[in-house]
Structure 1
Amino acid sequence: MMTNKNSQPALSTELDDGGILTITINVQQESMNIFNQQVMEEFTALANDIDHNDDIKAIIFISGKSDCFIAGADITMLQQVQTAAEGTAIVEQAHVMLQGIANSKKPYIVAIDGICLGAGYELSLACDYRIATNNPKTKIGLPEVMLGLLPGATGTTKLSRLISLPAALDIMLTGKQLDAKRALRLGMIDEAVSASILIDTAKKAAKKLIAKQYTRKKLPWSQRILALPLISHAVIYTARQQVLKKTFGNYPAPLAILDTIQYGLNKPIKTALAYEAKKFGELSVSSEAKQLINIYFATTALKKETFIDNSVKPNTISTLGILGGGLMGAGIATISLDKTFASVRMKDIHHEGVLKAQQHIGHYYKSRIKRRILSAEQAKQKANRFTGTLDYSGFNQCDLVIEAVFEDLSVKQQMLNDIEALDNPNIIFASNTSSIPIKDIAEKAKCPENVIGMHYFSPVEKMPLLEIIKHAGTSEQTIATAVEFGRKQGKTVIVVDDGAGFYVNRILVPYINAAMQLGLEGVTFEKIDQALTRFGFPVGPIKLLDEVGIDIGSKIQPILENAFGERMKSSGVQETLIANKRLGKKVKKGFYDYSSKQKNTIDDSVYEELNIHQKIDMDENTIVKRCLYPMLNEAAHCLAEGIIQSPRDGDIGAIFGIGFPPFLGGPFRYMESTGIDTIVNTLTDLEQQHGGQYKPSNILIELKDHKSTFYK
């Protein structure tokens, strides 16, 4: 029925005796279906036949791939866009196709099983009836905001008219992905069923629509009233204030979504869609979207990166051992139980340690049950894979052991010795150290090839990065196994070379030190944090130190200062505060006042303890440069020394590990967009004013001299 010159068509069709045409989407040579030029061209060719063939009474869209309907649009199309008009033209083409479906006299039904995001859900919005499966892998949403874009293929306009306005705003402004049950409750789909009856249900719906026996339920009046002009403006105004408070205007996409809805909500659909396409075009060429799309492609590439010879296959981790029941150990246990199929055996020196870890796991699953992500039985099955002990019983059966205790080299070496004494030469020993070189931990090991670093970030359940550290003797088998297990835990993995502080903490420490020095000079701690959060960091350096623990940060400092000298020289602030037992949020005493009812208030007594008696006014731009440029410089050092394998890994490590502003693309993308000349000149000026910690790295000077860049 369908003629297509492509030898591997994306669409195939089957017409049954009742006049129901099933269109199966199966984009060849792609692991997931994407909404691309081929799909649009093939459907456009097919649409004319559908409209004029009286034998076709109704049409069903279904996927030929398991666990994926359509994952979204083909983002590569945007890489070629140079002007806003070109970006607008891309979505206008999609508008023609999707409005052709929406305006057809024949009913369209979409049968969703698996991922249905972005343009996949926008195709669904064009249909008359939407069915999705209860498959746990079914995820429905419009996450374009994560790429610095708005849902431009009719999504912004149509979702805000389909469901309640606050719910539509929440979905589009956050990029949330919903399961079928939650999507059904909101009205994003019409029915949720088992995958086994998906096509049968779709055909039943088609027959009802053919017979005109289905009328879509209207939203309750209490929700419809929110779309009225004056009320909707108030809802959108409130949402705009919340967006600005959270993003400081650094991200234009959420604001463009609000503008588009406010402009078009009560206008004719054609007018609203034209404005949506225009705003999409403007966003498609914004620097923020370009950088966020760079991150998307970088993380996609990292998922396929082996970091070693491709012929080396990872070992299976059936049993994970964890040493230490603190927050890090409990967090590692939790994600391992939740994301992998491994059993978890934990050892702590106190019953209380194991008990607290068990309680941590329990609280996590209680939240998952409350949010209806898991049933009580599912949560119980996962949590029951956890066991605890005060000795090494059962550890000889472990495939991987991760130590997560405090930063003490001798303790970590003793733990490695204890594991090797279990006479299982296949156990991989991983340290969660944040700064101690792995070669030092492995120095006395019988099997140094089995020793590796797996540096998680706190809180483990939320922070997406896993920094894997290989020392000179780590085997490729060990690296492959650690990388594969980290990915199964849901982490974005980078592999770095061994060295003091590795990569993430090594670039973080000079940033923190610079902030401390500014405080000693008289810049208020509030002003420092305010400047860096306005710049785009999720929290400022002062707040970050309070959250992590002032004592924790101080343990990394001497290791780095010993290794790198003046670049890592301590201001002495943390040592003074520790001596006064001011350790941060965990003891309700840090830079911030935790007894105050007002949030984010500095404890003024900290200035007295640090002997700071003057307060100076400094503009935010200067504060940012004083703190940020040592981080940028250190990132360049790490690349030159081979600590990181590429600028890509450095950018992703900084964004996912310490919250470097994503819309700036990471340290290396930021240096390139700012200009290497500007970076070197600024560092030189800062060095002359404030000392050697700002001395530009050789690699930056060479790039400047050769007018070159990091990303060739």
Structure 2
Amino acid sequence: MSEQTQSAFSLEIRDDNIAIITMDVPGESMNTLKAEFGDEISAILDQIESNKSLKGVVLKSGKSSSFVAGADISMLAACTTADEAEALSRGGQQVMQRIENSRIPFVAAIHGPALGGGLELALCCHYRVCSDSDKTVMGLPEVQLGLLPGSGGTQRLPALIGVQQAMTMMLTGKQLRAKQAKKCGLVDDAVPLSVLEKVAVIFAQKGKPSPRKPNLSLVNKLLETTPPGRNILFSQARKQTLSKTRGNYPAPEKIIDVIEAGVTDKRRGYALEAKYFGELVMTPESKQLRQIFFATTEMKKETGVEGVEPASVKKVGVLGGGLMGGGIAFVTGKAKLPVRIKDIRAEGIANAMKYSFDILNQRVKRRIISRTQMQKQLSLLTGGTDYQGFADTDIVVEAVFEDLGLKQQMVADVEANCAEHTIFASNTSSIPIAQIAEKAARPEQVIGLHYFSPVDKMPLVEVIAHDKTSDKTISTTVAFAKSQGKTPIVVKDGAGFYVNRILAPYMNEAACLLLAGEPIEHIDKALLNFGFPVGPMKLLDEVGIDVGAKISPILVADLGERFTAPDAFDKLLTDDRKGKKNKHGLYLYSGKKPGKEVDDSVYQLLGVQPNQTLSHDQIAERTVLLMLNEAAMCLDEGVIRNARDGDIGTIFGIGFPPFLGGPFRYMDALGIDHVVKRLQHYQQIAGDKFTPAQILLTMQESKETFY
């Protein structure tokens, strides 16, 4: 055997004339494709093409847990024009095309993530074999960065698995597991990791395959292979996409355009792919989405307190078997940690267990996991109505009702029944942690761990330290949250913490606009168009009108009158309108479209005559300005550590429009001077709740920005 090593790539020629190309980027935990690799890859391809005795090539990763995680997106920041970004795309296309045009077969041996440019590299190979490991996922998630696949993915994926499935993957960033990839024809085989290279070599010895067509149903064939069918298909795709993006994200529409062009003319499809890739790189939306990616990547490397190592967490307790407790138990089990659940009722334990069962059972049905994997995770959950099984827990997460006395009792119970080192983490949404820890024997081990609902889907948690919480407790809690797959931000103690504190003025203003006569659906549509995933009125129903009512007095007591909720909302609770939970709120929850239509009887109950007077833009501006102002105050008071945490917290916690980059990046984009002037404008119209934060006035004067 002979071996040639070239930086990130090595080439080995086996005795049976099969070449093995191994990609292993030095100093990186995962492989990413970089522009400077072009020459290295070209040199290896030159060697392969000049060796006439070669029968095939296997392309594999030298990393133990990933194939290629995508292209290195930091290189996009160096592009100053769309033409420069387009040239990057064309360069990638040319390398991929050269592999596809090879006289001998290339086989991608995939283990671990093959995402973005990594999957595009696999797609230009003639065969793809993947490991059946849990680590193996395949997808084209460029849309999440405001981009489209720029190295041929928009053309090769539809040709391989069909237009509809490929379009869904590209428009949503959906990732496929090994079984799903095999079923749809994305890979030729899924095998145990131990034989992955061996099977790949067998494919390499087969010679190049005959041209293959996607395995489509009769209906899909009619839609994808006839002009009238394609017209319907792409027309519907555009309609559905626009209803979701509301025109705020340019990438999805460009993806549809490029796929449609390539269906009838591949050359035009590739040209359009490169052109639109270049244009999208330069859009403000993509720049903000890429900033979010870099911010979250940075945050993954951080500990709760710099230089303080977390303690090991081997067993977890959860107090309360409601929706939050069930969700917390699920994400903890997913982290492969045993969980002991306590509830005062056996039904509560059963409900918490069912939460995990329902999610996992759905994943089994969709072939994401096996039944064995489901049973393994469920076996980590046990429960009871007392503290038996809690003695050896390292952290106990409390998720009981928002009642200070009850939470203080939970602290006492944990200190009496658990180990001396056990951390007590409260999932309170608004009660200051110092109050919960007031009677604690070990207040340094009491901390807030605020999850967002639904726990299995929402990526954020707030880690709230009060003035006596130890650094070790903070670092351990942050590490625990990360193990659950969450993005934690450390915030200072105080009513509402960060996310709920900046959400409250926004929600209150939306309520004031309703009481002034703006129709409920008009208010919600204004904020949907602005870019939020759900309008404030609908959010009130989802969270629970009763929950909102409980939080408001806590905020007023700690932060002042600007947090006072409109009195008229007491009428909703008097009428037992709690929202979705009791199917009686601002929206109707019976009939053909539950939760979609407004309950018009609300207007009479509130003494309001609905009359639309403000535009969508005016409603969005009034409500969002209060959120921005409060976020600035939180930064000024040290509630959040920096603007970055504030942006990630609002995007991941309440769905602040990602394409705007978060409140602080949005204020920078608007200009601090503009933000202050608009706040002062509304201060004259609607009162002192719009008084600009002092930090904004200072920044206006000194012409500063947050970034």
Fold-level similarity (TM above 0.5)? yes
Q: What is the identity, as a one-letter code, of the residue corresponding to 1:326?
A: G
Mean Cα displacement is larger for which, 101-110 or 26-35? 101-110
Instruction: Give the corresponding residue for 1:80.
Output: 78
The answer to whether 1:385 aligns with 2:383 is no
Question: What are the equivalent positions in structure 2 for 1:629-648 lying under 5 Å apart?
Answer: 629-648=625-644
Instruction: Give the corresponding residue for 1:458.
Output: 453
Match of 1:274 among 271, 287, 295: 271
The answer to whether 1:121 aligns with 2:116 is no
Match of 1:335 among 331, 335, 342: 331
Contact in 1 for aligned 2:304/2:479 (Cα 8 Å): no
Q: What is the identity, as a one-letter code, of the residue corresponding to 2:624?
A: L
Instruction: Give the corresponding residue for 2:414.
Output: 419
Contact in 2 for aligned 1:132/1:189 (Cα 8 Å): yes
Alpha-carbon distance in structure 1 between the residues aligned to 2:539 and 2:319: 26
Instruction: Give the corresponding residue for 1:677.
Output: 673
Instruction: Give the corresponding residue for 2:523.
Output: 528
Name the SS of the counterpart of 1:397 in structure 2.
coil
Instruction: Give the corresponding residue for 2:100.
Output: 102
Alpha-carbon distance in structure 1 between the residues aligned to 2:702 and 2:299: 29
Alpha-carbon distance in structure 1 between the residues aligned to 2:537 and 2:510: 7
Q: What is the identity, as a one-letter code, of the residue corresponding to 1:559?
A: I
Q: CA deviation at 1:216?
A: 5.0
Q: CA deviation at 1:547?
A: 0.5
User: Unaligned stretches of 5+ in structure 1?
Assistant: none
The answer to whether 1:42 aligns with 2:37 is no
Distance 1:668 1:444, change over 3 A: same
Alpha-carbon distance in structure 1 between the residues aligned to 2:568 and 2:250: 38
Contact in 2 for aligned 1:511/1:631 (Cα 8 Å): yes
Distance 1:378 1:264, change over 3 A: closer
- Residue identity over aligned pairs, in percent, reads 49
Q: CA deviation at 1:2?
A: 8.0
Name the SS of the counterpart of 2:36 in structure 1.
helix
Contact in 2 for aligned 1:134/1:181 (Cα 8 Å): yes
Q: CA deviation at 1:613?
A: 2.7
The answer to whether 1:57 aligns with 2:55 is yes
Contact in 2 for aligned 1:630/1:694 (Cα 8 Å): yes
Q: CA deviation at 1:44?
A: 1.1
Name the SS of the counterpart of 2:234 in structure 1.
helix
Distance 1:381 1:614, change over 3 A: closer
Question: What are the equivalent positions in structure 2 for 1:302-313 lying under 5 Å apart?
Answer: 302-310=299-307, 312-313=308-309
Q: CA deviation at 1:137?
A: 0.5
Q: CA deviation at 1:55?
A: 3.2
Question: What are the equivalent positions in structure 2 for 1:439-454 lying under 5 Å apart?
Answer: 439-454=434-449
Name the SS of the counterpart of 1:583 in structure 2.
coil
Match of 2:652 among 642, 653, 656: 656
Alpha-carbon distance in structure 1 between the residues aligned to 2:632 and 2:362: 41
Q: CA deviation at 1:443?
A: 1.2
Q: CA deviation at 1:47?
A: 1.7
Contact in 1 for aligned 2:390/2:418 (Cα 8 Å): no
Instruction: Give the corresponding residue for 1:90.
Output: 88
**Cα offsets for 1:620-640 (capped at 9, x unmatched):** 111001111100000000000
The answer to whether 1:317 aligns with 2:280 is no
Contact in 2 for aligned 1:584/1:590 (Cα 8 Å): yes
Name the SS of the counterpart of 1:69 in structure 2.
coil
Contact in 1 for aligned 2:160/2:213 (Cα 8 Å): no
**Cα offsets for 1:506-542 (capped at 9, x unmatched):** 0000000000000010101110001001111010000
Q: CA deviation at 1:104?
A: 1.7
Question: What are the equivalent positions in structure 2 for 1:180-191 lying under 5 Å apart?
Answer: 180-191=178-189
Contact in 2 for aligned 1:10/1:38 (Cα 8 Å): no
Q: What is the identity, as a one-letter code, of the residue corresponding to 2:279?
A: E
Q: What is the identity, as a one-letter code, of the residue corresponding to 1:455?
A: H
**Cα offsets for 1:546-599 (capped at 9, x unmatched):** 001000111111111122223212112332211221110111100011124345
Q: CA deviation at 1:224?
A: 4.7
Q: CA deviation at 1:202?
A: 1.2
Contact in 2 for aligned 1:521/1:616 (Cα 8 Å): no
Q: CA deviation at 1:35?
A: 0.8
Alpha-carbon distance in structure 2 between the residues aligned to 1:613 and 1:261: 49
Q: CA deviation at 1:3?
A: 7.1
Contact in 2 for aligned 1:593/1:601 (Cα 8 Å): yes
Contact in 2 for aligned 1:456/1:465 (Cα 8 Å): yes
Match of 1:292 among 289, 293, 296: 289
Distance 1:598 1:368, change over 3 A: closer
The answer to whether 1:511 aligns with 2:490 is no
Instruction: Give the corresponding residue for 1:169.
Output: 167
Match of 2:485 among 485, 490, 507: 490
User: Unaligned stretches of 5+ in structure 2?
Assistant: none
Q: CA deviation at 1:505?
A: 0.2
Alpha-carbon distance in structure 1 between the residues aligned to 2:178 and 2:583: 42
Q: CA deviation at 1:614?
A: 4.9
Q: CA deviation at 1:395?
A: 1.6
Match of 2:543 among 534, 545, 548: 548
Mean Cα displacement is larger for which, 151-160 or 35-44? 35-44
Contact in 1 for aligned 2:238/2:253 (Cα 8 Å): yes
The answer to whether 1:470 aligns with 2:465 is yes
Instruction: Give the corresponding residue for 2:574.
Output: 579
Instruction: Give the corresponding residue for 1:20.
Output: 18
Contact in 2 for aligned 1:73/1:120 (Cα 8 Å): yes
Alpha-carbon distance in structure 1 between the residues aligned to 2:513 and 2:36: 56
Instruction: Give the corresponding residue for 2:240.
Output: 242
Contact in 1 for aligned 2:4/2:10 (Cα 8 Å): no
The answer to whether 1:666 aligns with 2:654 is no
**Cα offsets for 1:227-265 (capped at 9, x unmatched):** 333322221111111101111111111100001111221
Alpha-carbon distance in structure 1 between the residues aligned to 2:125 and 2:106: 5
Contact in 2 for aligned 1:453/1:468 (Cα 8 Å): yes
Q: CA deviation at 1:423?
A: 6.1
Instruction: Give the corresponding residue for 1:29.
Output: 27
Q: CA deviation at 1:215?
A: 3.0
Count of matched residue pairs: 702
Alpha-carbon distance in structure 2 between the residues aligned to 1:617 and 1:448: 52
Alpha-carbon distance in structure 2 between the residues aligned to 1:155 and 1:613: 54
**Cα offsets for 1:605-661 (capped at 9, x unmatched):** 111111113524211111001111100000000000001001110010000100101
Alpha-carbon distance in structure 2 between the residues aligned to 1:176 and 1:623: 34
Alpha-carbon distance in structure 1 between the residues aligned to 2:453 and 2:152: 39
Match of 1:374 among 369, 377, 383: 369
Contact in 1 for aligned 2:4/2:11 (Cα 8 Å): no
Alpha-carbon distance in structure 2 between the residues aligned to 1:632 and 1:178: 38
Mean Cα displacement is larger for which, 380-389 or 522-531? 380-389
Q: What is the identity, as a one-letter code, of the residue corresponding to 2:299?
A: L
Q: What is the identity, as a one-letter code, of the residue corresponding to 2:688?
A: G
The answer to whether 1:709 aligns with 2:705 is yes
Q: CA deviation at 1:397?
A: 1.7
Q: CA deviation at 1:217?
A: 4.1
Mean Cα displacement is larger for which, 244-253 or 367-376? 367-376
Alpha-carbon distance in structure 1 between the residues aligned to 2:151 and 2:221: 24
Q: CA deviation at 1:110?
A: 1.0
Alpha-carbon distance in structure 1 between the residues aligned to 2:403 and 2:153: 54
Q: What is the identity, as a one-letter code, of the residue corresponding to 2:73?
A: I
**Cα offsets for 1:455-487 (capped at 9, x unmatched):** 001111111111110111111111111111111
Match of 1:69 among 67, 70, 85: 67
Contact in 2 for aligned 1:69/1:120 (Cα 8 Å): yes
TM-score by length of 1: 0.96
Instruction: Give the corresponding residue for 2:262.
Output: 264
Mean Cα displacement is larger for which, 284-293 or 101-110? 101-110
Aligned Cα root-mean-square deviation (Å): 1.5
Question: What are the equivalent positions in structure 2 for 1:585-624 lying under 5 Å apart?
Answer: 585-599=580-594, 600-624=596-620
Name the SS of the counterpart of 1:443 in structure 2.
coil
Name the SS of the counterpart of 1:628 in structure 2.
helix
Instruction: Give the corresponding residue for 1:146.
Output: 144
Instruction: Give the corresponding residue for 2:128.
Output: 130
